[in-house]
Amino acid sequence: MIDADKLVEAIRAYRGVVRKSAISSVASRLLPLYAKGVIATHGEDAAAMEFGSEVLLMAADGIRPDLIQKNPRWAGYCAVLVNVNDISAMGGLPMAAVNVLSCSDAAKRRKIVDGMRSACDKFGVPMVGGHLHPDTIYDAIDVAILGRTDREHLLLSSGAKAGDSIIFAMDLVGRFTRGLRYSWDTTSMKTSLEVQKLVRLMHRMAPMLSSGKDISNPGSLGTLGMLLESSSCGAEVDVSLIPRPRNVDLLQWLLAYQGFGFVVTCEPSKARSVLNGFKRAGVQGARCGVVTSSQRLDLIHQGESRTLFDFGTDTFGCSTPQKL
């Protein structure tokens, strides 16, 4: 069993965590001072915009080149999956996606497209357009997605408050993708009906929650760090309470990208109802900690407390100096 110091060191050094710090250098130059109808932008999983009585959600994501080289079909599949999860994390329902594909190798390009098509069918999200670069010297796949929700169901990363309960909820029925140590696949083996039911789950849960984020490249605790920075809060979390499949290494699990996994916060009085909602959907949830005003993410592991992130000095590029 890894000790507390080594656990903190490994998470802080993980590529999925380290690469996030560059976000602020880009966002700070692009974030508008004011944009009519825009509800939320920087620090969220998707931008949220008023559209009549509804809220439109826009997100985009790209797949790392090393994944394309190792498994081009899975890269295409994940390009859709990660975007669907971003919409779900906002309490939204995905509507349609577009892509930008750069690949000169026809055989590899076919595998990427097959993966995208498989995911579109699985998640019930049509790929309605895009752009192809068939003559590049590099391979890249990027997808943008449109979703919708309303004010009652809109869920932000920046809504956590001191005293809120922290709940991790994951689908433990899955497997690690062969050759990809941190890719926890929970959707490829399920039916489209099962997957699309899960896609709608966060929309139903959103009114009970104060904030939420899908567990992505920084892993479980890195994702929580992004949520806390966005909310200008800290937290104390007991690592032993985070749901985990049997016989899965703790560090591997904490760093894994979840096929269906979310970290959410809620008022303590609502925690039981939230946990029951996840349980009814077949998702394992657990109350693992509490939001604090400390500006630090502190972990309890093997009876010892360690600071994982100090937001006075650490950044994921998710701070929100202004609310639109």
pLDDT at 299: 98
pLDDT at 33: 62
Of the listed ranges 40-44, 97-101, 136-140, 255-259, the one predicted with least confidence: 40-44
**Placement of tokens 């994951």 in the chain:** 170
At 32, the pLDDT band (50, 70, 90 cuts) reads low
pLDDT at 83: 98
**Would you say residue 31 has pLDDT above 80?**
no
Closest listed residue to residue 147, CA positions, set 208, 209, 99, 84: 84
Three-state DSSP at 22 gives helix
pLDDT in tens, 57-88: 999 999 999 999 999 999 999 999 999 999 99
Given a contact cutoff of 8 angstroms between Cβ atoms, the answer to whether 103 and 109 are in contact is yes
pTM for the full predicted model: 0.95
Sequence ranges of the chain with CATH classification 3.30.1330.10: 35-149
Q: In what order do the strands lie in the sheet with 93-102?
A: 38-40, 47-51, 54-62, 140-149, 93-102, 127-133
- Exposure string over 147-173, b if 16+ CB within 10 A, otherwise e: bbbeeebbbbbbbbeeebbbbbbbbbe
Diameter of the chain measured on Cα atoms: 57
**Would you say residue 321 has pLDDT above 50?**
no
Torsion of CA 323, 199, 208, 277, to 10 degrees: -160
Cα distances (Å, whole numbers) of residue 43 to 182, 297, 316 = 24, 17, 9
Sequence ranges of the chain with CATH classification 3.90.650.10: 4-19+155-310
Q: pLDDT above 70 covers what percent of the chain?
A: 98
Q: In what order do the strands lie in the sheet with 175-176?
A: 175-176, 183-185, 257-258
pLDDT at 323: 46
**Would you say residue 322 has pLDDT above 60?**
no
* Backbone φ, ψ for residue 264 (5° rounding): -135, 160
At 324, the pLDDT band (50, 70, 90 cuts) reads very low
SS3 content of the chain, % helix, strand, coil (to 5): 40, 30, 35
pLDDT (average), residues 126-140: 97
pLDDT (average), residues 195-199: 97
Given a contact cutoff of 8 angstroms between Cβ atoms, the answer to whether 91 and 56 are in contact is no
CATH 3.30.1330.10 for domain 35-149, yes or no, is yes
HEC string of 88-131 equals HHCCCEEEEEEEEEECCCHHHHHHHHHHHHHHHHHHCCCEEEEE
Per-residue tokens: 48: 């949220």
Q: Between 4-13 and 219-231, two packed helices, what is the crossing angle to 10 degrees?
A: 70
pLDDT at 1: 79
Kindly report the number of other CB atoms within 10 A of residue 47's CB atom.
Answer: 18
Strand partners, 93: 148
Topology, domain 4-19+155-310? Phosphoribosyl-aminoimidazole Synthetase; Chain A, domain 2 (3.90.650)
